[in-house]
Structure 1
């Protein structure tokens, strides 16, 4: 959770508009949702806990989902600033978790939780594939290896390509994370219902962390998905948010059991029933 920090110390100056892409507003309630998700997922995996990495500084002070120079502005001195140290600490924790999972399991999944204010209120799942790529028909997406190779779930596809097409993993009704969330009634892009953003619809395809740590690079085996949550699910009434967190935890647990859990790789495959509620 990179953008849900609650600390705004006066001794750390606010970020300037040095870079055109500077955004200082927090993704409200993403830290809270992430913590609740971790608790529910731990229950579903009988005490096995996911790694949790949180940036506690508010986004007006630090953005860890940007390169160091952009996210942690310095005063130009030769000594690292507080924000540069915090940026480095965050990514050290993240890199250590990635390396440990690679060593212990040989595969894994990073979920980078964000919030957006786009009027369509879609859940936007980012695989580092642009809106233009998502508009391509499935046969082209499946036949062009550059598309799957450039995605942040390349490793997953390479493991499953004999049984599933890339388009199915990306937006299939029963095979994708988007399809799972859509089956609960949450409008999700990409999914079998919303395969791609329409003209003039905004869509976040995956930022710095998903691009850096996802399996699109070299021999990396950790996949990454950026989960952009709309205001409706983050700031709406508590009943809606609580139900969403439960459904999101179930969807993520299903996805992990289906594609990463040891029982999901062979005859002892673990599955969870598809939801019926719309």
Structure 2
């Protein structure tokens, strides 16, 4: 099987060579078979046809108008997906925006994200792909993990955590307590134990205001989709070409542990807990039955 990184590089190279592009052409989507979604909205390099760069005129300060590319994040996201596949022999979902951020910012609400109709269509295509991934993860596994990959220039040695101060991992905290977000076996606790320099540190301190989680993790994280959504803001030392493979390998290892710790039935109870919402499951013979939707994931040994 060809590597995920190699396949994506071919796809992006072909996109760069082709002429007129449709909105969906500027969104790279890989369907996965584990409850993990990797997202990269700011690493694209391609123009949007018939769309001038954004100017940001008249936007409020809270819009945080930025047009710079998060260099290396597209490549890092695909490297993480590849490392997860090599480790687990299973593919995560992957959603990458190939268009440059100066034309559209997919990590902003629509009123701040674009300034022309072609860019709106690309924005909608990106979020349609991401929403489909979240829906599919919830339907297949009941819950999942989303990693939103970004780059920051404030400190080259740090990786900032963004969860809207815990709101985008509400499912995790509800089931496993605050230690699952701030303890040694939390996502960032495990990254720290493997040599990453992380913020906040101590992990229970407030997140940095500018990197506390943007539109994507706030829209798709929390209990709406039963998705634990983290924004990871990587310093350049983790995004450089000569560092990406090691960064990706460590993240893949931590993701494997995260799945076993938090995306399965909690071990402290022998009886599954249920919530009132029902999930309709279509049977192969065309009938539909209702089953209670579990508040734990069905994965790695749990029945699908």
1:6 aligns with 2:42: no
**Partner residue in 2 for 1:176:** 186
Q: Summarize deviations over 1:212-239 as a string: whole Å, max 9, x none.
A: 11115xx43112110111112113x61x
Which of 152, 169, 180 aligns to 1:116? It is: 152
Query: Are 2:104 and 2:123, in contact at CA under 8 Å, matched by a contact in 1?
Result: yes
Query: Are 2:50 and 2:118, in contact at CA under 8 Å, matched by a contact in 1?
Result: no
**Partner residue in 1 for 2:273:** none
- Separation in 1, partners of 2:75, 2:267: 30
- Separation in 1, partners of 2:74, 2:92: 14
Which of 65, 68, 76 aligns to 2:107? It is: 65
Structure 1, gaps ≥5 residues long: 75-80, 130-147, 271-278
Per-residue deviation at 1:120? Answer: 6.3
Would you tell me which structure has more strand in proportion to its own residues?
2
Root-mean-square deviation (Å): 2.5
Which SS does the other structure have where 1:112 is aligned? strand
Query: Are 1:116 and 1:231, in contact at CA under 8 Å, matched by a contact in 2?
Result: yes
Query: Are 2:156 and 2:237, in contact at CA under 8 Å, matched by a contact in 1?
Result: no
1:156 aligns with 2:154: no
- Separation in 1, partners of 2:203, 2:222: 24
Q: Summarize deviations over 1:189-248 as a string: whole Å, max 9, x none.
A: 235x454369xx7650000010111115xx43112110111112113x61x332222112
**Partner residue in 1 for 2:86:** 43
- Separation in 2, partners of 1:158, 1:203: 26
Query: Are 1:12 and 1:82, in contact at CA under 8 Å, matched by a contact in 2?
Result: yes
Query: Are 2:169 and 2:222, in contact at CA under 8 Å, matched by a contact in 1?
Result: yes
- Separation in 1, partners of 2:247, 2:148: 17
Query: Are 1:197 and 1:203, in contact at CA under 8 Å, matched by a contact in 2?
Result: no
Per-residue deviation at 1:110? Answer: 1.0
Q: Tell me the matched-pair count.
A: 229
What is the TM-score with the length of structure 2 in the denominator?
0.69
- Separation in 2, partners of 1:10, 1:83: 9
Per-residue deviation at 1:8? Answer: 2.3
1:29 aligns with 2:68: no
Query: Are 1:5 and 1:55, in contact at CA under 8 Å, matched by a contact in 2?
Result: yes
